[in-house]
Amino acid sequence: MDELRIGERVLAITRGDITRIPADAIVNAANSALVGGGGVDGAIHRAGGPAIMAELRERYGPHRHCPTGSAVVTGAGNLPARWVIHAVGPIWRGGGAGEPELLASAYRTSCELASGLGARTITFPAISTGVYGYPIEEAARVALATVREHLAGETTLERATFVLFSADSYEAFERALTELAAGSAGG
C-alpha cells in the first residue's frame, strides 16, 4: 500500500529524494539551532541553496533556536517548493523521555504551519530516524497517525507525502500505513 484516502485527501508514501519532489511545502528534519547539518537537513540546504540559511538568519536571528517538537518556516530557495518547514524532532533516549509526543508535535506543527500558509501539498522525511536514532517502525506509526489526524480535520492540505530515502524506511512506513488503513477501516 502506498496511499490512504482520508475523505477527499490523500496520505501517501514514496521512495526517493525529498529535494526533487515538487510540493507547496517541504518539511526539513532540522536541528534546534537551525544551522543546517547532515542527512535530510544537509540535503535540503545544499539543494535549496544559500537563500534558505540567509532567511533563517534574517528571520530568526544569529542565536536562533527552535524547540524540539516545534517548527519554523522559510522560503524554499532552489527547491521545487514554495516553503521549507524546519521541524525539530526528538533525540531517541529510549522512549521514556516524551519522544512520541515530541515527534507527533513536530509533525502536527508542520501541518498547521503549512495549512496556515495555504499549502495544498506537503512532503515529509522520516523525522528523527537518522542520527537522532528514533526507531523507524515506531517513528512511522507516530508520523502517519499524526498526519492522518490532521488531514481528517480542517486544513488546506490535500495531499501529504512521506518521501523515504532508503528501502528499509519505505518498508517500515508501508507496514505502518497498512496498519493505519486497517485500523481506520475497523474503527
DSSP string for 120-153: SEEEE--TTSSTT---HHHHHHHHHHHHHHHHTS
**35/42 Cα distance (integer angstroms):** 10
Helix (H, G, I), strand (E, B) or coil at 104: helix
Asked if 34 and 55 count as a contact pair (C-beta separation under 8 A), the reply is no
Contacts of 185 (CB under 8 A, 6+ apart): none
Active-site residue, from 2, 24, 41, 168: 41
Query: Is 41 known to be catalytic?
Result: yes
The residues carrying an active-site annotation are 41
